[in-house]
Amino acid sequence: MSTELFPAILIAEEETRRDKGYFYENDKRGDAGAIVIQRTSGGQGFFRDAKGLIHAVPVDHAMVFSHQEPTAYGYPPEATEPYVLRYVTVAIRSLAPLVQSLRQEHGSVLRMPGHTGATALFDELFERFNQRTFADRFHEAELVHRLIIELYRAQVQDIKETDPVGFGYDYLRSHFRSPINLKQLADRCGISREHFIRQFTKRYGESPGAVLRGLRLTQAEILLNATDADVESVALANGYASANTFRRAYRQIYGRSPRALHKH
């Protein structure tokens, strides 16, 4: 059994399909450790998810799937234009949890417009693989990792108009180490502070402030356990204005001083 952790490109190709018989069932294909990112640049493809639901994959979108899962994809029978696509197959390895999280949160059909960082990295991976111009396997793995992160970023930015509360939740998770004002966050989401807090709490079962506090304290506790950083440094590194503010929040949740944990 391979112990290789670094992701690597296995195949990178582009195709133009006009055949109504272009159809693949993924549970009959390849290595379970491989994922495919297949971007539409012309026409349209389709993706059938594990529940049997059909999703269009138009231009500036990509489908993400793994081999040996109960999904399928192909050329829509009703299509009148050629389906122009580019895909990369990746031995995803250590990045599997990240890809799984991306698909669970945003689905298997993702926005991937041409002007985004995700598409630029996708095309760079495609070209470097076919031209054999990766500096080394670490360079290749780094680009794959950055691509998944950029795909995440593209989806979060895309939901700002359609789902401002979801955008706010993702913003908190991405920026919890920075000072965050809920009024300014609600303004960023395009809704009032009161509506944001009400809808956020209804959806996630906690207020934005509670979620933010939980993110900061969880990361702070990890740092206290894993490093020799002092309490003030840990507080500032996780978005607190002062060590005293951090101590009060920590004691309220955990019932003890962070310094006591650090000494232990």
**Shared-domain flag, residues 124 and 222:** no
Residues 64 and 144: their CA atoms lie apart, in Å, by 14
> For the chain, what percent of residues have pLDDT higher than 70?
96
Own/partner pairs for 100-105, CB < 8 Å, 24+ apart?
102/64, 102/148, 102/151, 102/152, 102/155, 103/64, 105/155
Classify residue 25: in a domain, yes or no. yes
Structure tokens at 40: 């539409």
Flag whether pLDDT at 170 surpasses 50. Answer: yes
Classify residue 146: in a domain, yes or no. yes
Domain boundary among 131, 159, 187: 159
Domain boundary among 130, 159, 188: 159
The predicted model scores a pTM of 0.72
Residues constituting the chain:
264
**Shared-domain flag, residues 258 and 128:** no
Identify the CATH number of the domain in which residue 246 sits: 1.10.10.60
pLDDT the model gives residue 261: 52
**Cβ partners under 8 Å of residue 35, min gap 6:** 64, 65, 66, 67, 89, 90, 92, 96, 99
**Shared-domain flag, residues 204 and 231:** yes
Return left, alpha or beta for 30; rule: phi > 0 is left, psi -120 to 50 is alpha, else beta: left
Query: Domain range for residue 150?
Result: 8-159
**Shared-domain flag, residues 181 and 124:** no
**Shared-domain flag, residues 228 and 261:** yes
Number of domains, the chain: 2
What are 107-126's pLDDT values in tens digits?
999 999 888 899 999 999 99
Domain boundary among 132, 159, 186: 159
**Shared-domain flag, residues 102 and 179:** no
Flag whether pLDDT at 145 surpasses 80. Answer: yes
Classify residue 3: in a domain, yes or no. no
**Shared-domain flag, residues 143 and 173:** no
What are 65-77's pLDDT values in tens digits?
998 899 999 999 8
